[in-house]
Chain A
Amino acid sequence: MIAGSVALFVLSTAGLAQGVRSLGMGGLVLPGPAASYLNPAYAAFPSLYGSDQGLRLPIGLLGLLRGEANPLRFFYDRAGFASPNGGFDALTFYDQFTHLGEFLINPASSNAFVNPATGYPEINLEYSASGVQLTDYLGRPINLSLSLGQPTGVRSSGALTPAPLFSIPFGLGGGFYGDVGLFAGGFGLGVAPDANLRRAIASGRLDPDTDYALTGSASGQAGISLGFGFATALPSLPIPEFGTANIYVGARGEAFYGLGYFEGSGRAIFRTDGSGLPNQAPQFESTLFYSYPGAGFGFGIRADGGVALESQGIAAGLGVRNLLGLASWSGTQIAVARDGTSTTSSSSRGGPVFAPAFFLNAAARQALEVGEVVYGADLGYDGRFTTHIGGEYILGPGRVRAGLGWEDGLKFGLGAGFSGAGFLADAALTTHQAPIVGGTVFGIALSIGFSF
């Protein structure tokens, strides 16, 4: 099970589902058949703005060969792994491992905490009568809250499964179509102080006989989806002084069979004594729920709908996923109490019937004196807001792209591509926010494709 989970985690964090062309435009998703997962009306929509066709390469694996990002050194070079000079850096490893689809140029590093006076990273913890402080060498508070990935458990998202890693569509005629896909995602890791600890950090004060806890949580799910949809063009609508608008509508139903689901959380609890000192060893409590075929059962069904308009090369669409849904996972729950006693029981997880996700996007294509340009914007909500704006300049087989986006932080993309006869290649320079230490991390993504 663990090996399977790791494989799915790698697949999903590789972000191979998101194309390099899109990354080059800051993450923008353009209207078209490739976006029919987000808006079923696009299944009947013409491919006006091109699409991502190449296979994204997991070049982040190269980044894991760096000494500070390579955990395997623990097994063959333990002294080097633990060496204060050039040894392993957990933060660098984490950043690269969760971005296997990119080679990170400046991965997050604990070097951000280096004290120039001593030459090594320092984290300071100070107890006094007025409380506890966790700071860097300059006395700046270190943020204990961090979250990575986007946890989408069934309890919040219901039957809205993560975007498929790949999906194989097949036409059924008369506007009907089907698709079979594999999804793995909803992976999230989070660490957050509880209310007491948050207050203690803010006020710098610890109260006597009080629990202070740091909570870590993780989630993920995987399964096989079977979709069945219908999309069609409605009669054209004349718009005075503009022309005619083509209208597309679509609906899609999806059922999934669960391959795996887990939700885990752990709490490290520090209890203060009568004088307000945290002078006891921390205690731990944790809960893990898991389900996979043979040790549980997961299934779900949901309905999506969408509409799109196109006129004179300008298009816009609105898709709503999970208008109605039903999902359930049954499996095993292991709870470990503070005193170390462990309880294993059968348990199940379900979610809300109505937990819709919205996706609105628009684009235009315009011929220039030399070449042409495609540009657009999108806005999405699936428990969090995302937005992107970007464009592509096309000259013969060459492509140049740029864009900006917001996905839990600002990101931008620059890209270039070649689309020749039988061969296409794309490259993108993309960014994300470094976990824990903050700042912008740059990464390079590549994809190649062949057409016959």
Chain B
Amino acid sequence: MKKLLAISLVALVLAGCSAATRYNVAVNIASLIPEAQRSQSFGSTTQNLVFPTSGSGGFLVPLPALEIVEGGRISGTVRLTNTGNTNFTGSYAVRMAPPGDTDISDNQGGDFSLDATSFDLAPGATQDLPINIQISPTVNANALQLIQRQNGFRMALRINVNSTGGSVTLSAARVSVTARPFAAIK
């Protein structure tokens, strides 16, 4: 009875739903991370920085497991500023992990990297680097499987920094997935 009523209610809510309807569910991650954990300044250093800076587990994106997810997109912007006297070089990548993995950048427990990109900034320069990662059954399929099969997933931005002084700010970050409820009918 409970199941029947629940299904009826959901059917009513989805009354505007056809076999073609897609639900786009988006989470504005940057808005959910305190500003202090999205930004870091440093002196002369060579190290890996992980954002948010609150720990090594990244940010837990609260999306329930949905077999009906067809694809998605991770987008954002990283602002780099070089206050040192040499070129600021390195690379950045989005990391993803299952919800139970507490270290998102050790390549253990299921975490993995998406779309590593290198950069090179002249002294005094400021640059906004884009993050634009497509997720589909053919592109970054491991990310799609993670979203489809886990109740929530972890995300972080890892930056390999080689600098004599500067700062990194994750100024925008958003994950969106597209689901088609009728895909559950087989």
Contact = CB atoms under 8 A, between A and B. Distances in A.
B18 A189 contact: no
Interface in A314-356: 334, 336, 340, 342
Interface stretch (A19-27, A31-39, A116-124): A116-124
Interface in A120-135: 120-130
A94 interface: yes
A87 B23 CA distance: 16
B26 interface: yes
A88 interface: yes
A433 to B, nearest CB: 14
A194 to B, nearest CB: 13
Contacts of A277: 32, 62
Interface in A100-153: 109-113, 118, 120-130, 142, 144, 146
B2 to A, nearest CB: 5
A277 B64 CA distance: 13
B98 interface: no
Contact of B17 (A90, A128, A130, A281): A90
A279 interface: yes
Contacts of A74: 185
Contacts of A118: 22
A82 B17 contact: no
Interface in A74-94: 74, 78, 81-85, 87-92, 94
B16 A437 contact: yes
A342 B3 CA distance: 12
Could you say which of A74, A123, A435 has the most chain B C-beta atoms within 10 Å of its C-beta?
Answer: A123
Interface in B2-23: 2, 5-6, 8-23
B20 A128 contact: no
Contacts of A87: 18-20, 182
Contacts of A142: 16
B5 A286 contact: yes
Q: Which 10 A-B pairs have the closest CB atoms?
A: A87-B19, A279-B62, A128-B28, A89-B18, A129-B31, A82-B185, A110-B18, A286-B5, A84-B20, A121-B21
Interface of B: 1-2, 5-6, 8-28, 31-32, 60, 62, 64, 152, 180, 182-183, 185-186
